[in-house]
Chains A and B, each alone.
Chain A
Amino acid sequence: MSGGWRTLCDMTADLVIEAEGLVKHFGKTRALQGVDLAVPRGTVLGVLGPNGAGKTTAVRILSTLLTPDSGTARIGGFDVVRDAERVRQSIGLTGQYASVDEDLTGRQNLELFGTLLELGRAGARRRAAELLGWFDLTDAANRQAKTYSGGMRRRLDLAASLVGSPDVIFLDEPTTGLDPAKREDMWDVVRSLVTNGSTVLLTTQYLEEADALADAITVIDHGRVIAHDTPEGLKRVVGGQTLEVRPSDLADLPRIAAILSEVGSGGQADEIRKGVLAVPVTDDRALTASVARFAAAGIAVTELSLHLPSLDEVFFTLTGRTASEDDTTHRTEVAA
């Protein structure tokens, strides 16, 4: 499947982010062992993997913070090692590592980056005001960043990486630690960035997030690419979505099971937890279809939801083991 994607990329021939055979070792830890990445202009690549898979290392190499031991990477045609200075002019970086200054106010942070990006004093001020407004931070603009809530911090972090209107934006786990509502807000931001022509590389631990935002998904494990596909392709492989239903009355379970088996993609409905039935479905329409059927049959349900496989399930399908199985070894890699 990665071959097919490659061909697609070659056809469009306008790759903004290209990486071939990236290798990076930290002492004995092999963080990257030959990673290829390709992102066409104006698209989002989701890099999916557990803690310590090498996602952050890859982002740090692409954003010129680290030099690869071997392999090459280009951003907008410029080599990240030889033309690092040119690369830095066209990228924005937001992540676990690239943060803002907590002692400065939101406005001071953005104005500082504007000055450093040669916007001039007036330009930096205007750009800061613009971004503060867009990220809904105007009211908090003159407060120190350390007083911001988690969601506000992420927005300021992202705003800071947009000061120079970068063509390429790296988002390293932009929603880790945010509650679901804040996560959806962040997704809206990413979507509008892409609408505006930016190219985005996003790392995440959630298939759901990659599915919601990305045009293509690269799955990384132990510093290697283990899958590269469109979200649809990947979901076909790992089993796609599941519809879960919890009836109000347990006596309805058999009737619900029958309906679910009909709206589902062919599988039998299973009782995955006490009082919760689940069935694999092909697309979102199964949700509305089942609602209509339940209503017609007069069945009341307390919970009805669509689920994508978790990262663990994805990894189990792709590698035959779960992502968290060797979590401890991964942690030490992160620390290194």
Chain B
Amino acid sequence: MSTLVGTPPTASPVLSTAAPNPRPFRLVRHSLALAKRSLIKTWRTPEALIDVTLQPVLFLVIFVYIFGGAVAGSTHDYLQFLLPGILAQTIATGAIAIGVNLNTDIAKGIFDRFRSLPIPRSAPLVGAVLGDVVRYVIVTVSTLAIGYLMGFRIDTDPLRAIAGCVLAVLFALCLSWLPVYVSMKVRTPGAVQGLMFALIMPLSFASNVFVSADTLPGWMQAFVDVNPMTHLVAAVRGLFLGTPLDGHVWWTLAWCAGFVAVFMPLALRAYRKKI
């Protein structure tokens, strides 16, 4: 270990002489640097992607081949109907992972180091949220790919298809502030997972994901009509298949804005308060 003895390389006059940090876009740059960290982690542990790749496959195969004939008369018709719903459901459950990961991360101490650095306090959270975009893109691509193999076809044009995918990714990105907030409030990663499933599951089943909403009893329709998942699914269906959009894109965007407006400040405040 004699290598350690000698002059430490603290001479680089970076912090001592440099002017105070250039202010503009600091949050953006720092968040992106931290998003890259999340990306590397995703890359290093591909098994963490199983939830978002296997789930759409299982749901599509099970629902299309078991219920397809009964619900829609033909498996192909049901596949066309179901795929946008499965995409929405999977991408929403995919957003849970960020809460679980953050809860684990914070216990490990790396966040304490982040907090001792001269970077915006919100950067580690914003970075983690942005880094997960890649996961959502993977969900979208793998859902569409398995759907295509099973016979799903886009009925509109590539532009609208891409718009549908972007909308789904955006939805997950904004929704993910909810699990981020939950992860600041509960003690264990398991609790984040449990609580979030309890929230997401009713949202995805009491909706138009699996069946058309007008088959449901009236009281439930009232819930389904305001369910953000319903709007996302209807919007994606419209963009993929050409069914009427009826303002669902705008409702989805409004929900996205709502998630960010409510849960991002809550999450950031909880993060600052967390020891």
Contact across chains for B115 and A127 when beta carbons are under 8 A apart: no
Contact across chains for B37 and A165 when beta carbons are under 8 A apart: no
Contact across chains for B10 and A115 when beta carbons are under 8 A apart: no
- Shortest distance between the CB of B99 and any CB in chain A (Å): 18
A165 vs B16: C-alpha distance when bound (angstroms): 8
Which residues of chain B are within 8 angstroms of A197 by Cβ–Cβ distance? 10
Q: Which residue of B7, B14, B41, B44 contacts A165 across the interface (Cβ within 8 Å)?
A: B14
B117 touches A (CB below 8 Å) = yes
Q: Which residue of B30, B108, B112, B123 contacts A102 across the interface (Cβ within 8 Å)?
A: B108
Q: A113-B117, A117-B15, A130-B12 are in contact. Are A97 and B112 (CB under 8 A)?
A: yes
Contact across chains for A167 and B16 when beta carbons are under 8 A apart: yes
Contact with B along A100-123 (1 / 0, CB 8 A): 111110001000110111110001
Contact across chains for B108 and A103 when beta carbons are under 8 A apart: no
A30 vs B7: C-alpha distance when bound (angstroms): 41
CB nearest neighbor in A for B21: A118
B57 touches A (CB below 8 Å) = no
- Shortest distance between the CB of A24 and any CB in chain B (Å): 10
B198 touches A (CB below 8 Å) = no
Contact across chains for A91 and B116 when beta carbons are under 8 A apart: yes
B73 touches A (CB below 8 Å) = no
A144 touches B (CB below 8 Å) = yes
A49 vs B110: C-alpha distance when bound (angstroms): 25
Q: Which residue of A63, A113, A117, A134 contacts B8 across the interface (Cβ within 8 Å)?
A: A134
B119 touches A (CB below 8 Å) = yes
A263 vs B9: C-alpha distance when bound (angstroms): 44
CB nearest neighbor in B for A162: B10
A98 vs B109: C-alpha distance when bound (angstroms): 5
CB nearest neighbor in B for A113: B117
A126 vs B116: C-alpha distance when bound (angstroms): 22
8 Å CB contacts to B: which residues of A151-168?
A: 160-162, 164-167
Contact across chains for B41 and A103 when beta carbons are under 8 A apart: yes
Task: Name the segment of A184-192, A217-225, A228-236, A295-303 touching the other chain.
Answer: A184-192
Which residues of chain B are within 8 angstroms of A327 by Cβ–Cβ distance? none
Contact across chains for B45 and A103 when beta carbons are under 8 A apart: yes
Contact across chains for A192 and B115 when beta carbons are under 8 A apart: no
Contact with A along B30-41 (1 / 0, CB 8 A): 100110110011
Contact across chains for A98 and B113 when beta carbons are under 8 A apart: yes
CB nearest neighbor in A for B37: A112
Contact with B along A15-48 (1 / 0, CB 8 A): 0000000000000000000000000000000000
A196 vs B7: C-alpha distance when bound (angstroms): 7
- Shortest distance between the CB of A278 and any CB in chain B (Å): 31
B247 touches A (CB below 8 Å) = no
A202 touches B (CB below 8 Å) = no
Contact across chains for B37 and A189 when beta carbons are under 8 A apart: no
Which residues of chain A are within 8 angstroms of B44 by Cβ–Cβ distance? 103-104, 144
B58 touches A (CB below 8 Å) = no
8 Å CB contacts to A: which residues of B248-273?
A: none
- Shortest distance between the CB of B219 and any CB in chain A (Å): 45
Q: A116-B33, A136-B1, A166-B15 are in contact. Are A101 and B8 (CB under 8 A)?
A: no
A108 vs B13: C-alpha distance when bound (angstroms): 22
B275 touches A (CB below 8 Å) = yes
- Shortest distance between the CB of A220 and any CB in chain B (Å): 19
Contact across chains for A90 and B15 when beta carbons are under 8 A apart: yes
Which residues of chain A are within 8 angstroms of B109 by Cβ–Cβ distance? 96-99
Contact across chains for A65 and B112 when beta carbons are under 8 A apart: yes
B22 touches A (CB below 8 Å) = yes
- Shortest distance between the CB of A117 and any CB in chain B (Å): 7
Contact across chains for A164 and B15 when beta carbons are under 8 A apart: yes
Q: Across chains A and B, which 4 residue pairs bring their CB atoms closest together, nearest first?
A: A99-B109, A88-B118, A130-B9, A98-B113
25 contacts between A and B (CB under 8 A): A60-B112, A65-B275, A91-B116, A93-B113, A99-B108, A99-B110, A99-B113, A100-B110, A101-B37, A104-B44, A112-B34, A112-B37, A113-B113, A115-B30, A116-B33, A116-B117, A123-B12, A127-B12, A130-B9, A130-B12, A134-B9, A144-B44, A160-B113, A162-B10, A192-B8
For the A-B complex with A88-B117, A133-B9 known, give 10 more contacts whose Cβ atoms are closer than 8 Å: A65-B116, A65-B275, A88-B118, A112-B34, A117-B14, A117-B118, A135-B4, A192-B5, A193-B8, A196-B8
